[in-house]
């Protein structure tokens, strides 16, 4: 829920647009609060930059006061929404609710950035069962023919923000990326699973972005706090532009 005024949102967005518009290799998706989508959509983004939504409701329309429908998002010309972000999961989104949201978004014609991640890192790899459950339930009955509309973002919740209890490593992410692809293969098939981008999201900053993109082989980054800082975000984009 940042920033809290439209004026500030336009200023922040203007700064981000300036640093992002020069991207030639990296694609930049800026997911803003839904209340700002209509105003910010009027800006001529250009290049490889586009707007996305942060979430959508599982219902397509009707008696859901306060909800934002995937169809409302699509009607604005916005083509992508995040679903299953760790903060939404913490606020009550279950795997089953997330699955409903995924299908509604797909039916509305949206692309989905599907987030998953464990809140604690188990010592014996027990957390992998959590990731598997989140994928198998959250993406249950996902149409394989629409796999090109799926992006997966791995968020190790325990390594994010001021309450972080540790730091994820590029090697750790790569291990989980391989596991995620194996589970995806059982959902959409091996060939299509290999084409689904798997992003890393966990306190991404200019200091660690390169390591996750190169050594960690992340297909992209889900940037949180530093996405509100045009200077830092610009540095991350530059790093993504030169990633192997």
DSSP annotation string for 13-36: HHHHHHHHTT-SSS-EEEEE-HHH
Q: Return the active site residues.
A: 85, 155
Binning pLDDT at 50, 70 and 90, where does residue 244 land?
confident
pLDDT exceeds cutoff 90 at 45: no
> What pLDDT sits at residue 101?
98
**Percentage of the chain modeled with pLDDT above 90:** 87
81-179-137 Cα angle (round to 5): 50
Q: In the chain, what is the straight-line distance between the N-terminal and C-terminal CA atoms, in Å?
A: 33
CA 116 to CA 154: how far, in whole Å? 5
Residue 226 CA, chain-centre distance (Å), reads 14
DSSP state of 151: E
Residue 166 belongs to what H/E stretch? none
Q: pLDDT tens across 93-127, in order?
A: 999 999 999 999 999 999 999 999 999 987 777 99
Q: What is the mean pLDDT of the chain?
A: 95
Domains in the chain: boundaries: 6-241
Q: What is the mean predicted confidence (pLDDT) over 4-14?
A: 94
CATH classification (class only), 6-241: alpha beta
Q: What is the mean predicted confidence (pLDDT) over 19-27?
A: 90
DSSP state of 152: E
pLDDT exceeds cutoff 90 at 22: no
CA 221 to CA 206: how far, in whole Å? 11
């Amino acid at each position: 829920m940042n920033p809290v005024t439209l004026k500030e949102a336009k200023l922040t967005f203007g700064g981000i647009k300036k640093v992002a518009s020069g991207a030639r290799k990296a694609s930049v998706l800026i997911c803003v609060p839904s209340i700002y989508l209509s105003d910010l959509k009027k800006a001529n983004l250009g290049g490889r930059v586009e707007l996305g939504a942060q979430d959508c409701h599982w219902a397509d329309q009707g008696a859901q006061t306060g909800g934002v429908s995937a169809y409302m998002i699509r009607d604005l010309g916005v083509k992508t929404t995040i679903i299953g972000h760790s903060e939404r999961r913490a606020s009550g989104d279950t795997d089953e609710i997330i699955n409903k949201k995924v299908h509604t978004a797909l039916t509305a014609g949206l692309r989905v950035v599907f987030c998953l991640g464990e809140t604690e890192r188990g010592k014996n790899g027990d957390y992998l069962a959590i990731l598997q459950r989140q994928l198998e339930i959250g993406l249950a009955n996902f149409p394989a023919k629409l796999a090109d509309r799926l992006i997966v973002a791995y968020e190790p919740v325990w390594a994010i923000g001021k309450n972080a209890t540790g730091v994820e490593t590029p090697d750790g992410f790569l291990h989980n990326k391989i596991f995620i692809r194996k589970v995806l293969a059982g959902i959409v098939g091996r060939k299509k699973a290999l084409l689904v981008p798997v992003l890393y999201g966990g306190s991404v900053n200019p200091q660690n972005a390169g390591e996750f993109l190169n050594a960690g082989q992340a297909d992209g980054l889900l940037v949180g706090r530093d996405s509100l800082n045009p200077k830092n975000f610009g540095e991350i984009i530059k790093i993504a532009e030169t990633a192997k």
